[in-house]
Amino acid sequence: MKIHSIKYNFAMNAATTVLNFLFPLITFPYVSRILMPAGYGAAEFALSTANLFALVALLGVNTYGIRECAKVRDDEAQLARVLQELIVVVGVWTIVVTAAFYVSAITIPRFAESGSLFLVAGALIPLTTLGMQWFMSAMEQYAFMAVRNLVVKLVVIAAMFIFVHTEKDVVIWVAISVLSTGLASIANALYIFRNVKLQKWRSLDWKRHLKPLIIFFLMVASTTIYTTLDAVMLGYMTTDADVGYYNVATKIKLVFVSIIGALAGVLIPRATHALASNNKDEYYRIVNLSVHAAVIYAFFVVAAGVLFAEPLILLLAGDQYDASVLTLQAIMPAVFFISFTQITLSEILVPKNGEKKLTIVYAIAGVIDIALNLVLIPHYQALGAAIATTIAECFVFVAHMVIVGRMESMKPYLVGCGKILPWEGLSVGILIGGRLLFGCSILTAAVSVILALAVLIAGLRAVKEPLVMDLTSTACRVLKR
């Protein structure tokens, strides 16, 4: 499989991210209005629960698999062997987890209330495993993933408009959501097995992956508590409508997180490979690039999201979701923390075998999140879950900084960040001024964000910030063509 340049991969991954951003702008307003808060909340409850089990089924392979495959991707035989060994372990475990999901759907009363939704949503578990997204990321096959993503999204949009018309079409929407995962996973599997020369299955040593996968599983399980379990706890402790309000806010948060994740996702396998090859200069350059992106992005986006949450909710979901405004404002700071922790997690601590420490961190964060949910959800419903998530993410951010700081000096990762902050402050000031002086309409939000972003980019070009210089220069060359 051909490995393209960072710039090419970023362009392809950015295209996927933009599509993932535009996709909810089409589907979410339509589905949320058709199904209404209760129906939409019921669908999200079933899908969130299935996704929770799917994360357990993956057994931490999304992180571990990228690291191990990136290490040996220059050796075709070793790469195929690692792929097949991980398929055996994760495949068997997925069968167990899928069975557990359906037993739970039958025996747990709250799940049984939406039996048909859970029956359909359960297919997400094996289909997610089938996709082997970790292998595609390790091999940096972003062009294929971009094309695949476009085709799948078009199919889903068509299916939505054809089949979802009334509040009673909740099961159909869940089935369409599952179809999205299924089509992408089947495409991935066909592509992988067409391009990888498999080794003899009897020669595999799958047992060597059990211990590290268990460690990564514990880490993922702990992380899942405060990233996925919130919606499940809301479903138990409140109403389907509250789940709907919360999921509106979390979907917007995930869009913002995925944008910065487009660059981080491209650089994770590249950083792992550089470290495994003992190319420290290249490694520090790559991670520093990620940190610059996080600093530029996080301050601006969090400020915009908090200040203009109301028009954002109105635009994407409608006035029936006005209860989501405070929830979005409470959860937006989590975007700031995640922008940095996804770098420290995937580009620093995991490549340097820090998963044991990470497991402890995420376990503590999970306990914090559960405890806060138990206290806050009964009183504040969706807003309480958002506050709990933000506090848990803040703890993870602080813990990551402490761990990295004790391992090594952070100076190589932070080179050049100081010249970004003054322009960040000015752009955030423009956002605040727009909000205070001209109100909170959709037009005010759009004008304020465009003006502030233009000032930020111009300022960073003036101080010759390398990431902005490179991206804007590339954009100019493309436009001239």
Better-scored residue on pLDDT, 9 or 397: 397
Lowest mean pLDDT among 73-82, 142-151, 194-203, 385-394: 194-203
User: What pLDDT, on the 0 to 100 scale, is given for residue 3?
Assistant: 67
pLDDT at site 480: 67
What pLDDT score does 1 carry? Answer: 63
What is the reported pLDDT for 453?
93
Q: What angle do CA 328, 48, 302 make, to 5 degrees?
A: 20
Mean pLDDT of 367-386: 91
For the chain, the average pLDDT equals 86
DSSP line for 161-186: HHH--STTTHHHHHHHHHHHHHHHHH
H-type alpha helices, 344-414: 355-407, 411-414
Report angle CA 178, 13, 164 to the nearest 5 degrees: 30
How far apart are the C-alpha atoms of 66 and 88, rounded to whole Å? 16
Contacts of 370 (CB under 8 A, 6+ apart): 225, 226, 229, 233
The pTM assigned to this predicted structure is 0.76
Separation CA 96–CA 367 (nearest Å)? 26
At residue 226, the pLDDT reads 65
User: What is the torsional sign of CA 375, 378, 384, 389?
Assistant: positive
Contact between 43 and 108 (Cβ < 8 Å): no
Contact status, residue 249 vs residue 386, Cβ threshold 8 Å:
yes
Distances (CA, A) of 140 to 2, 349, 477: 8, 20, 24
User: Quick one: pLDDT at residue 274?
Assistant: 81
Ranking 116-120, 237-241, 403-407 by mean pLDDT, the lowest is: 237-241
Mean pLDDT of 109-122: 88
Residue 113 pLDDT more than 80?
yes
**What count of other Cβ atoms lies within 10 Å of the Cβ of residue 314?**
17
SS3 of residue 468 by DSSP: helix
Other C-beta atoms within 10 Å of 102: how many? Answer: 15
Average pLDDT, stretch 457-477?
A: 82
Tally the C-alpha atoms within 13 A of residue 424's C-alpha that lie toward its C-beta. Answer: 18
**Is the pLDDT confidence value at 104 over 80?**
yes
User: Is the pLDDT at 479 greater than 70, yes or no?
Assistant: no
Assign 334 a pLDDT band (cuts: 50, 70, 90): very high
pLDDT at 216 over 90: no
What is the pLDDT at residue 290? 87
172 pLDDT more than 90: yes
Cα–Cα dist 368/372, whole Å: 6
Structural tokens at position 70: 């990136």
| Tens of pLDDT, residues 335-360 | 999 999 988 988 888 888 888 898 89
Residue 4 banded pLDDT, cuts 50, 70, 90: low
pLDDT score of 36 more than 90: no
Structure confidence by residue, pLDDT tens digits, 55-99: 889 888 888 888 888 888 878 888 899 999 999 999 999 999 999
Q: Indicate the helix (H) or strand (E) that contains 111.
A: helix 109-112
pLDDT at 395 over 70: yes
Average pLDDT over residues 465-469: 84
- What pLDDT does residue 21 have? 66
Least confident piece of the model among 20-34, 90-104, 235-249, 338-352: 20-34
Q: Look at residue 7 and tell me whether its pLDDT is greater than 80.
A: no
- Both tokens of 363, joined, read 């376990």
Q: What is the mean pLDDT of residues 32-41?
A: 84
Residues in the chain: 481
Q: What is the mean pLDDT of residues 131-142?
A: 87
In percent, the amount of the chain with pLDDT more than 90 equals 37
